[in-house]
Each structure stands twice: as C-alpha cells, then as structure tokens.
Structure 1
Amino acid sequence: MKSHYQVLIVGAGPVGLLLACRLKKNGIDVVVVEKRSSRSTHSKALSMNAASLALLHSLGVVERFKQSGKEISDISIYWDQQRISHVDYRQLNSCYQHILAIPQPETERLLEEYFVELGGEIRRSATLNAIDIGSNGINASLADGGILTCDYLVGCDGSHSIVRDFAGITFSGFDYGIDFYLFDAQVSWQGKRDEVHYFVDDQGFIIVIPLVDGNHRFVLRCPREDDSLPSQAEYQSVLSRYIPQPVVIERVVWESKSQFYNRLASQYRVGNIFLAGDACHLFSPIGGLGMNTGFQDAWNLAWKLTAVIRQRQPDDLLDTYSEERRNMAAVLRDSTDINTRFIARIDRDNEKTHYWLPRFSNRLRARTLHPQLFSGLAQRYIEPSLIYEGKRLTGKYLPYLTLIQQENRVNSYDIVDGENYHLIVYGENNKQRLNTTLINYYLPIYFVEVNGFDKKIEFQSGEYLLVRPDGFVAIHENWETLEAVVHYFEKNKIRNSL
C-alpha cells in the first residue's frame, strides 16, 4: 500500500475534505486520514454562506449542494417578540443571494463523493499516534502501527486537534460557561418557513432555521440542574415563551448539547505542519461563521501549497497563509463575540442593542453591510505580502461579473481555478499594450461584458482587477498603472501554469 504523499490531511470533516478536493483537482498527491470509521451523524454545522457557495462554484460542485439544501434569503431578528431587524441577502452582488441550510453529514457526503470521483483516498479508522520530522519529510505514525510519510501535513481535526498538540501550538481563549442546546424537530408552526429567525429578549434567545426536509433546527438556552438533555415538554415551554406565532413540537429528530467557545491558535504553521478550521479557531454558532471560515482557510492554503509543490513560488509563500487567515480569524472572533454576548444576553450594553434596532441612522448599514457580514463576502485581506494597496475591491473576493475572452462568455466565478492568476479589464483598452506588457506571464485576460454589468459594483471603466488563484483581488487599479502587475509578479516570484 502506498505510504508517501505530498500532502497528508488529518480529519475528514468538511474543511479537510474541501482542502483535499481542491488539492486533488490541482493534481497534488494527497491522502486524508480519519479516526472515525464512518461519516459523522452529528449536524452542528448547518449554514453555508454565499462566500462558501462561491468556492464550491469554482470547484464545480455547487449544484450538488443546492439540490440537497434549502436556500434562505432572509433573516429576521425579534426583540421581545417584535421584529426589529431584517437581513435581506437579495442585496448581495453575487449570484448566491442566500445562505444554504444543509446538515453537516450531507456536506461531508457530497465532498467525500467528489474527492473519490477525483481519485482521492480516504483512510478511515486511522488514528494519528505521533508525528516525527525526518530526513524524508514528515513521518506520521498511526495507532495501528502503520507509518505514512508526507512533505506537508495539515491538521483539520477539530477543536481537540492532535496535530495542534504535536506541533506545540497553543489554543488560547475562553469558554462562555453556558450550555446551549441544539435540536432538529418536526413542528407545527404558523411562522414563516423560508427565513432564519432570531428571537431575543432580556434573558436569552432562540434561533430557528428551516431545513430542506421540512423540519427546523432550534438553538437555545435552557437552564437545567443536571447534565441531561431537556425533555420535549421543556423544549416546548422555551419555544412558547420566545416565539410569537403558535408553535407545537410534534417530534424531536436529533438533539445535542454544546458549549460556545472563543479560541484562536497562536500559529497556523510550524515548519511544514499547518492547521485549518476548528483546529485553529472556534467561534460560537451565532452568525454561522465556523465551518464557513474553515472553508476559507482550506481555499487559501490549497493554492499556496499547489504553487510551492509545483515549484512555481518559493516556500515563504506559505507564511502568508497564517498572515492572512489568522488575522481574518481574529477579526471574526471579536465580531462574533460581540454578537454572541448581545444575542445570549451576556453583555447588556444598550449601545450594542441599538446596533440592531431599526433607526434612520443605520438604515443603510442594515440594508447593505449586514448582508455582507453574514454572507462572508465582506472579508478583506489587507496584509501587504500578496495584496497591492489600491482601490475598493483590493483584498476582497472578486465580484460576480459576466466576462468575454476571445468571444467566449464566462462568469467571473468560473475562472477561479485554484492555480492561476487572471486579469479582468473593464473597458475597451489597448489590447496590444496588454499583450506586450504581460507577454512573459501567461496571464489570461478577460473583458467585462458591459451590458450585463451590475452598477452597484465598485468597478469602473478604465480599471482592471488582478485576481489571485483563490479568487481574491490582488490589485484593483487604473489602466495607467498596468506595470503594477509586472512588479507584483516579479516581487512575489509568480509564474502561472498556463
């Protein structure tokens, strides 16, 4: 049996599988080891945001997920049973103007099936026992006595990551010290079944998420004197207190108890060992950012590993993984903490309450920024290594555009391939100058189809976008500064594979 791989991924959860799929599609020799003998039946991660759907689009599998999930375009937030705020995803500049409610076991199934279709290998019932750095790379000893060697090892093995422990990485932060209950149930309810609902009062909250099978996911606090799960009658009592519409629990399908955490790893990289997902950050589920942030980790790391393994860029490119993703996780950790303290009524600061109240002064924020924040599309890299200081789209995920290349029409999400940089030009510019300036860089060039252009996007005629392999905009500048692309490629020693 094969024993050496370019990349070994520990953990076959959603993050590990997404990373494996992207690497395998890029032609990287990768294996996934998983201590569980079968896929998880636990369904804690549920909401897939627009940013994650854009990644799955670029991977070519988003339609599979859409068929298995429920699209939700609205979030309603209630205070004392009165609706105080509405998040409308239809305001997003994306073809995915919704979140997708899809249980974690289904996400794992779809990603695993695709990985296997690509020729990928998953070794189950394989528990990592030790890691040793040898002359031939990293030696990973398994509990059954087997040894796998690899050039790079990635821990996607969750909050109790054994990879993190072996690498000596600290995982600092705190627990909220409160038990939260999650359950899926068949209910009779007169409320809207196509929205996510947050019901909050001065004592706590309930979150209600509709599922594709007609059931609903509930997240709530339910103070108890022992460690047992609440009875159906106790769940019913809490729901009846918070929800203004009549609701009756007919059957509890699944239930679990969990703590909410706020933790961040001190490092994301030690040598050729990396962390991604819950192994390096833990958020509360308020806002649904946990798994989605892990997806962004995997997407960021995959193209950088590919570039280094293919020897198109030097090893220090991999340092930017921690630079970009850990800084982003710190921002999300802090914002999620604020929202959690408000929703769970841990922090009773009235100023934070006013942030969500419908006021004339924050109408624009509620209409535009809140959907961006919940969707993940507001994330922006600002670190200087791979981001050129420029206009408003710099550091953000590229907008959804219709593009033309040699009379062929494509959309901007389609061109993200996890391996190559691309250039998007808006306007009829000097194509001869484009070809002359960039001839040595094998850089695909696309022109915006103006007839289908969304005027809300901050991208104007006479400007261009240099798009990284992960779909993030490295440069957004005026046409006159085209030499910035040459400088960027030379400074970062970039060579496309095309």
Structure 2
Amino acid sequence: MTNKRWHKSSEAEMLPTRTDVLVVGAGPTGLTVAVSLAAQGHDVTVVDDQAAGGNTSRAAVVHARTLEVLEPLGVSARLVARGIRAPRFTIRDRDRVLVPVEFGGLPTAYPYTLMISQAETERILLERLAELGGRVARPYRLERLTQDGEEATAVMADGSTVRAKYAVGADGMHSTVREQAGIGFTGGRYAESFSLADVRLTGGVPAGEVVLYFSPAGLVVVAPLPGGIHRIVATADEAPAAPDGAFVQALLDARGPERERAVVHEVVWGSRFRVHHRVADAYRAGRIVLAGDAAHVHSPAGGQGMNTGIQDAAVLGEALSAALKGAEEALDTYEAARRPVAGQVVAFAGRLTALATMNRHARPARNLALRTLARIPAFRRTLARRLSGLVYRV
C-alpha cells in the first residue's frame, strides 16, 4: 500500500500527495470503483468538486445485474432493504398495455427492479467505503491531468497535486479527465430536454410497477419510490428548471393514464437535463481510464445509465487491482469487455426513445407490432434480460 503524505487546504479536506488510484468523481460509478479497490486492499483516493450533499438525484432504478455485481462488495443487501421491489415493467399507450415484462422468472437472486433514489444509493456506497477505510475528499476540482510511463499527476484548482499509479475518470458527461486525456466523445444530442420530478400522486398509475408511457407528445416514465413518492421522467421541448405541479400534471394528462386520471398533489423535487447519445472513442489512454457517464451517455429510457456505470466500475475495480499487481493488460481487457456493452445500451435506449415518440400516424402500426411481439414468450424474456442487465453477464 502506498505511503501517503497529506496536504491540507484551509477550505477543503485533506488530500494525499500520492495514492495507488485517484478516482475523480464521487457518484455511484466512482464510489463503486473505490469500494472495489479498497476491499482488495489497495490505496484509493476519491475527489469530487461538489460539497457533500450537493448532488442531485437523477437515477432511481437499480437493475438485477447491478445488484449482482454489488453483492460481493457488501452493498446489495443494504440497497434492497431500503428500496421498493418492482417485479413488473410495462410499456403502455395511455391505458393500453403494449408490452408487459415480468422479472419474476429471471435466473437471478434479484428478480425485480429495485426502486431507490440515486442519493440513497450514493449514501450506502459512501457508508461502505468508510467501513473499508476510505473517504471522499471535497471539494476539489480537477484542473490538469498529465501522465508519464510511471504515474499520472493531477493538479487541482487550489494548486494541490496528487500523483497516482492510475487515474479514473468517473466525472460525468462533461468529464475533465476525458478531455485532459485527449479522448473523443462521439455521438450527438437529443433535440428534446428531459424533465424530472419526484411527486406525490393518486389515481390511475398502476401500483408496484415501472411504466413507460408512449405518446406522440413524448415519453413519460412513472415509477414508485420509497416514502409514497413517484419518479416522473419525461421529454419536453423546453423543460422548466424547476417543474411545478401544473407542469407535471399536464404531462400526465397528455401522456399518462386516461381512464382514471393520475392527480399530482405535491412536487417534492424537480429538475431538468439534456441528454446526449455518445460513447468515448477509447476507455483508456495509458494510465488514465474512463467509466460511467464519462465513457457513455444516452436516453434515460429503460433506466440503464447509472446501472451501466456501476457495472463498468465493478469490472474496472478488478482490472485495476490486477494492473497494480503487474498485469496491466487487464485494463485493455476492461475496455474490450465494457465498450461494446455501452454501444448496445446506447442503441437500445435510442430505440425505446424513437418508438415512444413516433408521430400520430405511425402509432397504430407501432402498437399492433408491439402487441404482436409481446405475445411471444421469447421476446418478453429477451426484453426482461436486456432491461435487467443480465444479458451483459460475462
């Protein structure tokens, strides 16, 4: 284990001058990499440019494959204890069920979608990292990242310098690590913005399932969360920065259940974001590696974003451990395993988004095709395996 020398800023937490692995970004991806490395006895330092508690809570779905990869890290049982199990996912056109997807028959210990906020997922991962002797140094903003044949050197905005054998970019779509490494980010941007809100509602929303509503006006996802909350995610031409009850109500009236109206009583929290569909041209540049949104971004349809990042992180933690022990080729194996998965996830989320936003004239043919396919058990099983992430098992 590396001997640390620490320097301390009067405004920030202490930061070591040396570490085995520097992880930039303390979201679910970065924290999972850190937990994996700490559990294997390696010295890991995580930095984040936000103060504790400053993160928003975009993701709310943890799929079966994600729970499988988190199980050996001592995290899954804690997530399951705090989340809501949703054993069913449906694609609907208003009240009409087009495709029902049941997770109960999947070959996994987690035959359901777990609904839990990203904030809670991060809190549990932080708790586990602390138990393993690690923590996150905040707030530190990466300014410059260079490397030579032996190590990577990170310079923070306050002048602090950290040298690491490897550096991990888990710092999101606008990754400074990726930019400093000179890695391209090929793709484009969806024309629509996305509105996100946690609300209290009553009415015609089905209980105990995640619903993707298709509509010519755009898609809307309605999913249960702990505490009697529902997460709403919807496309919008220009989503408001802080959606109010009237805005969310209008979305549900236009796209959600029709026979029994869903009534919004309170908006607990809301935000907006724009979504790109991009994959990094490479996952590795020497001693710098990427994971999560720094490596791939896509539509939220299907709830694959955070899950794909955590699955990246679990594989990367093992690869970095091997590299630290002398098998540096393991990092190439990581890229070979995970980059194709990102391409599949981006394509899958894109297809769901395109299907959801088809124009009114194409809608009857789409609905007929989906309902016909949904009668085929193999189609439903394949969709369940793809949504759950089990299709990406190594």
Normalising by the residue count of structure 1, what TM-score does the alignment of the two structures yield? 0.72
- Alpha-carbon distance, 1:84 to partner: 1.6
**1:332 alignment counterpart:** 345
Output the CA distance in 1 between the equivalents of 2:250 and 2:140.
Answer: 44
How far the C-alpha of 1:297 sits from its partner, in A, is 0.9
- Paired positions, count: 378
Partner residue in 1 for 2:191: 177
The match for 1:371 is 384
Matched, 1:293 2:308: yes
Secondary structure of 2:371's aligned partner: coil
**Cα pair 1:85 1:356 within 8 Å, conserved:** no
For residues 136 and 96 of structure 1, what CA distance do their matches in structure 2 show?
Answer: 42
Contact 1:85/1:366 (8 A) holds in 2: no
Secondary structure at the aligned position of 1:378 is classed as helix
1:206 counterpart = 2:220: yes
- Aligned 8 A contact 2:89 2:101 in 1: yes
Aligned CA RMSD, in angstroms, stands at 2.1
Question: Matched residues in 1 for 2:275 and 2:358: separation?
Answer: 14
Q: Could you tell me which of 129, 133, 142 is aligned with 1:128?
A: 142
Task: Report deviation, 1:233.
Answer: 1.9
Instruction: Find out whether 1:219 has 2:219 as its counterpart.
Output: no
CA distance in 2, matches of 1:348, 1:269: 45
In structure 1, stretches of 5+ residues that fail to align are 380-396, 398-471, 473-498
Greater alpha carbon shift after TM alignment, 203-212 vs 273-282: 203-212
Cα distance in 2 for partners of 1:121, 1:237 equals 43
Tell me the CA shift for residue 355 of structure 1. 8.4
Describe the shift of the 1:50–1:351 C-alpha distance in structure 2 as closer, same or farther (beyond 3 A). farther
Stretches of 4+ aligned residues off by more than 4 angstroms: 226-230, 346-352
Give 1:65 deviation, angstroms. 0.6
The aligned counterpart of 1:263 is 278
Contact kept, 8 Å, 1:175 with 1:261, in 2: the verdict is: yes
1:188 corresponding residue in structure 2: 202
The one-character-per-residue Cα deviations of 1:352-399 (angstroms, maximum 9, x if unpaired) are 9368622278512343111101100012xxxxxxxxxxxxxxxxx3xx
Offset of residue 236 of structure 1: 1.4
Q: Match of 2:114? A: 100
Higher RCO (CA < 8 A, seq sep 6+):
2
Q: Which amino acid aligns with 2:93?
A: W
Partner of residue 34, structure 2: 20
- The match for 1:247 is 262
Flag the 1:361–1:138 CA change in 2: closer, same or farther, 3 A: closer
Q: Residue 133 of structure 1 contacts residue 139 of structure 1 at CA under 8 Å; is this kept in 2?
A: yes
Q: CA offsets per residue over residues 5-58 of structure 1, 9 Å max, x none? A: 111100000000001000100111111011111134411111000000111212
**What amino acid is the match of 1:186?**
R
Q: How far off its partner does 1:191 sit?
A: 3.2
Q: How far apart, in 2, do the equivalents of 1:66 and 1:228 lie?
A: 31
Q: Write the mapping of 1:261-410 to structure 2, written as runs, cut at 5 A.
A: 261-311=276-326, 314-345=327-358, 353=366, 357-359=370-372, 362-379=375-392, 397=393
Q: TM-score, normalised by structure 2?
A: 0.90
Larger radius of gyration: 1
Match of 1:155 among 163, 166, 169: 169
Q: 1:4 aligns with which of 18, 21, 26?
A: 18
String of CA shifts for 1:379-426, please: whole Å, max 9, x gaps. 2xxxxxxxxxxxxxxxxx3xxxxxxxxxxxxxxxxxxxxxxxxxxxxx
Give yes or no for contact 2:115–2:225 (8 Å, CA) kept in 1: yes
